[in-house]
Amino acid sequence: MFQRELLKGRAIFLTGGGTGLGRSMALRFSELGARLFLVGRREDPLRETCQEILRLGGAAAYVTCDVRDYAAVEAAAERAEQQFGEINVLVNNAAGNFIAPTEKLSANAFNAVVGIVLNGSFHCTQAFAKRWISRKLGGNVLNIVTTYAAANCGSGFVVPSACAKAGVLALTTSLAVEWAKYHIRINAIAPGPFPTEGAWSRLMPSKQFEEHSREKHPMKRFGRPEELANLAAFLLSDMAEYINGECVVIDGGQWLRGAGEFNELTLMPESAWEAMEAARQKKS
């Protein structure tokens, strides 16, 4: 369906690009002709993803960077420009999340997630938009949120993430209007459940809950990474030039069946939460 060179000429700064959905998008964008600059905190997955892109004949580079730290984001943006000249696309994909009863959260736990998701997305967006505006270049931003980011939805048991993702959605719609005059386009994707190591290890409390989620899903299946990567490629392409400030849901209709993906955890007994917390304490 896509032309092979759909994203030719694009240099894409992709956060959290070493793992999961970020890695899938990086590989797909590269296949469609884009050059990729990946950031994340751990070097190994970033290196591995870049090596895979290079092996397949694409162009990719990376630098470790914690998006919570604005100075580190600025330094990464500089490095990306040294590598590829102008960066013309930003994908805010990095995230942090876990399930927990909200009354038990420490302030630091809340800040950790909001810092990555909301502050991190703002830091990266600001770093590149400043460049695009001062140099009179257009730009393109894609934010990966979630279905429970919608302001009238939210979800229990992932409250820091719900608050932060709702903020990212507000950033998307606000800046779509404010920065349209600078030819900066900004959109979001709200994925439903896509099994990745990062998400599943932190959000699936048990095999039974996973089975319950699949059974309750209208299509009785979870998402495939390539489905999300193709939607992202479309939104970044010139075919979507007139789409601005939009959030496209890709969840197989899951949230229409019952909004707030983790609200089902109200069914989980207190003893299961206690066992999970004990296991976490033992690990750390």
Q: Which does 40 bind (CB under 5 to 8 A by kind): ligand NAP, ligand HXC, none?
A: ligand NAP
Among 17, 40, 139, 193, the residue binding ligand HXC under the rule CB under 6 A is 193
Beta bridge partners of 185: 140
Q: Which helix (H) or strand (E) holds 191?
A: strand 184-191
203 binds ligand HXC (CB under 6 A): yes
146 binds ligand HXC (CB under 6 A): yes
Among 33, 156, 195, 198, the residue binding ligand HXC under the rule CB under 6 A is 198
For CA atoms 19, 189, 235, 224, give the dihedral sign: positive
Q: Which helix (H) or strand (E) holds 248?
A: strand 247-250
- Least CB distance from residue 8 to ligand NAP, whole Å? 25
Active site residue 148: yes
CA 257 to chain centre: 23
Among 47, 79, 183, 202, the residue binding ligand HXC under the rule CB under 6 A is 202
What does the alpha-carbon distance between residue 223 and residue 138 come to, in Å, rounded to a whole number?
A: 32
- Least CB distance from residue 136 to ligand HXC, whole Å? 35
What does the alpha-carbon distance between residue 6 and residue 265 come to, in Å, rounded to a whole number?
A: 42
Compute the chain's Rg from CA coordinates.
Answer: 19
What does the alpha-carbon distance between residue 240 and residue 228 come to, in Å, rounded to a whole number?
A: 15
22 binds ligand NAP (CB under 6 A): yes
Among 25, 27, 63, 113, the residue binding ligand HXC under the rule CB under 6 A is 113
Catalytically active residues are 148
Residues that bind ligand HXC (CB under 6 A): 95-98, 100, 106, 108-109, 112-113, 146, 161, 193, 198-199, 202-203, 261, 280
